[in-house]
Amino acid sequence: MTTRNLKTAKQGLQGTLTIPGDKSISHRAVMLGSFAQGITEIRNLLHSADVKSTIQALRALGVEFEEQATVLRIRGRQLADLHAPSEPLDMGNSGTTTRLLMGLFSRLPFDVELIGDGSLSKRPMDRVAIPLRTMGAQIDLTNGNLPARIHANDRLQGIDYTLPVASAQVKTALIFAALQADTVSHIEEPVVTRDHSERMLLAMQRPVERYQHTVIVRPGLQLVAPQIVVPGDFSSAAFWLVAGLIVPQTQLYLQNVGINPTRTGLVKLLQRMGATITVQNRISTAEPVADLSVVHQQLHGIEVVADDIPGAVDEIPMLVLAATQANGLTIIHGAQELRVKETNRIATVTTELNKLGAQVEELPDGFKITGPTRLHAPAGTMVSSHGDHRIGMMLAIAALITDGQVVLEDADAVDVSYPQFFADLEKVLV
């Protein structure tokens, strides 16, 4: 566990950053490329701890990877060509790896066991296992959590299923299993969630259909290997967007950011708070990308409701930080999903920001934030990521506007999704 003295931005942030590859898309590219016919080439893959967990798991089953500085090549295999791993597959801290592979591995001809670190082992897996069992998957959990054993299985049936809570991970796990089923599946979500899996399947010439909130998946795992360029991760860009808005004397330009409309809910919420975020150089391919620029601005409080959450769920900690600097009251409801992330993010965000003098009140399903608040850290205040990458980076941005010295405990948690975060921060500190 590492500690880091965080820095104050006394003269603002200035410069241009190229955002690292999208974590969600990197996971899906590696997983689907492992089963595609031919050689899948992936550029701008995110080289983070989570994505490495995905690669290592599939490599253990016999998938061949050739890694170079700028490209990952995957020689796809059919299910029958894979082999049983010699030991449990370590998911590390990656909930995405775990939940998506539960779906993808539901029809393997051999048993696999999934394990994870202490944090991941506390995260609920029943929400994926229960509908997969309905399809015929044989999955044993440990009190609803990891370790999990997925038993050898030669048959899956289609499913008509309505997700009780909007979740792109659960939806994707069911899509991956439905591609291997014997009959058609209909998966309905209460609110449309990120659609990276559907877009990637289209790029691999295996489209799924959508009718309003329902995804229709017809059987068949015949995928054609594509060339994939992973856009910059919007969730990583979010730290700099909020930093640009709340740190005085700041102007930031962010290159190659994915602006998939199912991911950019934070932009809409910040705009409702009065922010102007400039979008330039739009490119529409399988995943739309653009350059974003932002300068320091005054914000005002808003009310956030449940329908706003799915498109911004990973960015809510940064929205709370922005709200501490906004005029008036911000209330966030419908975010109870944050309680089962890498940490209980409602509790950790509240606790850690209040250490710096913020006025954040924890609600059962969200937050009540009063702003603006001048943040301060008397006598070298110690804050903690609690092993959660997004909490660690949020606190580093908060420290930029905090009087006094802030010390971050468990700083290396950021490696899960953004290994070069602190190096990028150094680039733009004036």
**Token representation of residue 200:** 């990637």
**Token representation of residue 204:** 């691999």
CA dihedral 80, 95, 232, 33 (to 10 degrees): 0
- Contact status, residue 175 vs residue 213, Cβ threshold 8 Å: no
Secondary structure E strands in 143-188? 145-150, 160-162, 185-188
Q: What is the DSSP string of 200-238?
A: HHHHTT---EEETTEEEE-S---EE--EEEPPBPHHHHH
- Contact status, residue 45 vs residue 27, Cβ threshold 8 Å: no
Residues 423 and 111: their CA atoms lie apart, in Å, by 42
- Whether 233 is catalytic is no
Catalytic residue among 233, 291, 314, 415: 314
Residues 199 and 213: their CA atoms lie apart, in Å, by 16
Give bridge partners of residue 408 from the DSSP assignment: 4, 383
Reference 44, options 71, 18, 68; nearest CA is: 71
Catalytic residues: 314
